[in-house]
Amino acid sequence: MSVVLAFDQGTTSSRAIVFNHAGSILGVAQREFAQHYPASGWVEHDANEIWESQLAVAREAMVTCKVTADEVAAIGIANQRETTVLWDRASGQPVHNAIVWQDRRTAGFCDSLREAGHTEIVQQKTGLLIDSYFCASKLRWLLDNVPGARERATHGELAFGTIDSWLFWNLTGGRLHAIDISNASRTMLLNIETGDWDDDLLDLFQIPRSVLPDVFPSSHLYGETSSALFGKPIKIGGAAGDQQAALFGQNCTEVGMAKNTYGTGCFMLMNVGSKPLRSRCKLLTSIACTTASQRQYALEGSIFIAGAIVQWLRDGLGIIDSSSEIEPLAASVDDSDGVYLVPALAGLGAPHWDAYARGTIVGLSRGTTRAHIARAALEGIAFQVADVADAMTEDANRPIDQLKVDGGAAANDLLMQFQADILQAPVIRPKVIETTALGAAYLAGLSSGFWKSIAEIGKVWHVDRTFEPIMSKDEASHRRTRWNDALGRAKSWEEHS
């Protein structure tokens, strides 16, 4: 038996999944790790805990399905993107906690860059909108705020990386300082046309070249793991940012194909082909999963809070005990009875980009119950996705006539049905909703010869269920008008506080 081992290193947990040649899951292991909130708007992870949890679940998944290192054709990595790690090359120890993609500590600096007129050039070179979401301002913050870091970096003593880089480094015992190009395209330091680090951007963010990893295609033989880790060396056959990995895992390999992942946040990506398409509607352009011979680009709408609103109902309000309880609770009422919930707990991402928006519940009456709020929360996720879909339709100049879905919250039938209703388009859920991990497995499988071609892996993807719209067009349009009213109440809230 031969298998591929996929790492899905996410924002809240590390997962490892063993796939066979048919693309079926043979074993899964998962471990949550600590989130650190040292100040308002700050989010950090302990990079060592990320590595240790990822290694532990990889070993556990292999034990679960009784697979030895000999039988693993290759490891593929999909990782939370933009999260920024800076470490000492000699000791291999991080100089600070990793700064997580959600962290907003550099929002003020990013405001100043926009005010100074850098938006256009940064978008032209990187496909991104200036925001604290991306690595560049986080790395600058680390270099300026960790005592001695800038000087040590200048002397070549420090290494920067995203989570793929950090895992490569640890998997190889410090022999490999590399980054996959899809992750690199989210740093705000890479020129997405040339595929190389850009000197103007390095100057703008004051980043010394000496800290940067080497850039490689997503599907690529990066090296081998140290033999001590799994008994024998295993090939490292690829890596990609988790959202690009999911696009690949959903087989969206042709222009116009789109997917939406419902995890902590929601990320809709559309394959736009071999040339970067510049957004006019505040979406992002990134590099999709690449092979040595092929580069494709993706248009992306990033929504910061999606499944996280369900966690908030569980942990913050306590109206459910587990995430899956939200569906029966929401289904116990026919509709939200005029309640709208805008899940802007961390501001609004695409296409609104309002860092000062805050979560809002409107339309409460004496008859409102926790079931209505639960339903409004799910609907709030779907409305945000529809806003991104509109922007994408306009940018790409083609309708989203079907949407492939995945991620933890895609298991929720009520949410998927409402999504199809509000989009007025079919929503297609595959059998394996772990498409992020599947995409990572594909990358590693292709470079190691486990799968021979993209056409071959296309046969591995199967539909579980298609949700067709049943709501009338007029009703959907009325609901979206009311949602826009609710959005208006949530926007700029913090600015007026």
Ligand X SMILES: O=P(O)(O)OC[C@H](O)CO
Ligand Y SMILES: Nc1ncnc2c1ncn2[C@@H]1O[C@H](COP(=O)(O)OP(=O)(O)O)[C@@H](O)[C@H]1O
Write out the residues near ligand X by the rule CB under 6 A. Answer: 10-11, 80-82, 101, 241-243, 263-265, 302
**Residue 412 annotated as binding?**
yes
Tokens coding 250: 């959903």
- As measured in angstroms, the least distance from the Cβ of 17 to ligand Y is 12
Residue 336 or 419: the one with the smaller Cβ distance to ligand X is 419
Cα angle: 341, vertex 344, 345; to 5 degrees = 110
Residue 328 or 399: the one with the smaller Cβ distance to ligand Y is 328
What is the 3-state secondary structure of 362-405? Answer: ECCCCCCCHHHHHHHHHHHHHHHHHHHHHHHHHHHCCCCCCEEE
- As measured in angstroms, the least distance from the Cβ of 255 to ligand X is 23
CB 258 within 8 Å of CB 252: yes
Residue 94 or 265: the one with the smaller Cβ distance to ligand X is 265
CB 409 within 8 Å of CB 381: yes
Residue 182 or 336: the one with the smaller Cβ distance to ligand X is 182
Q: Which does 430 bind (CB under 5 to 8 A by kind): ligand X, ligand Y, none?
A: none
Residue 176 or 268: the one with the smaller Cβ distance to ligand Y is 268
Q: Do you find a cis peptide bond into 351, omega within 30 degrees of 0? A: yes
- As measured in angstroms, the least distance from the Cβ of 143 to ligand Y is 28
Q: Which does 82 bind (CB under 5 to 8 A by kind): ligand X, ligand Y, none?
A: ligand X
Cα angle: 277, vertex 281, 286; to 5 degrees = 40
Contacts with ligand Y by CB under 6 A lie at: 10-13, 263-264, 307-308, 310-311, 323-324, 326-327, 407-409, 411-412
CB 251 within 8 Å of CB 458: yes
- As measured in angstroms, the least distance from the Cβ of 106 to ligand X is 16
- As measured in angstroms, the least distance from the Cβ of 407 to ligand X is 7
- As measured in angstroms, the least distance from the Cβ of 11 to ligand X is 3
Q: Which does 381 bind (CB under 5 to 8 A by kind): ligand X, ligand Y, none?
A: none
**Residue 15 annotated as binding?**
yes
**Residue 407 annotated as binding?**
no
Q: Which does 243 bind (CB under 5 to 8 A by kind): ligand X, ligand Y, none?
A: ligand X
Residue 162 or 290: the one with the smaller Cβ distance to ligand X is 162
Distance from C-alpha of 277 to C-alpha of 295, rounded to nearest angstrom: 13
Q: Which does 260 bind (CB under 5 to 8 A by kind): ligand Y, ligand X, none?
A: none
Instruction: Please give the single-letter amino acid code of residue 102.
Output: Q
- As measured in angstroms, the least distance from the Cβ of 71 to ligand X is 28
**Residue 307 annotated as binding?**
yes
* Binding site feature residues for ATP: 11-13, 264, 307, 311, 408
* Binding site feature residues: 11-13, 15, 81-82, 133, 242-243, 264, 307, 311, 408, 412
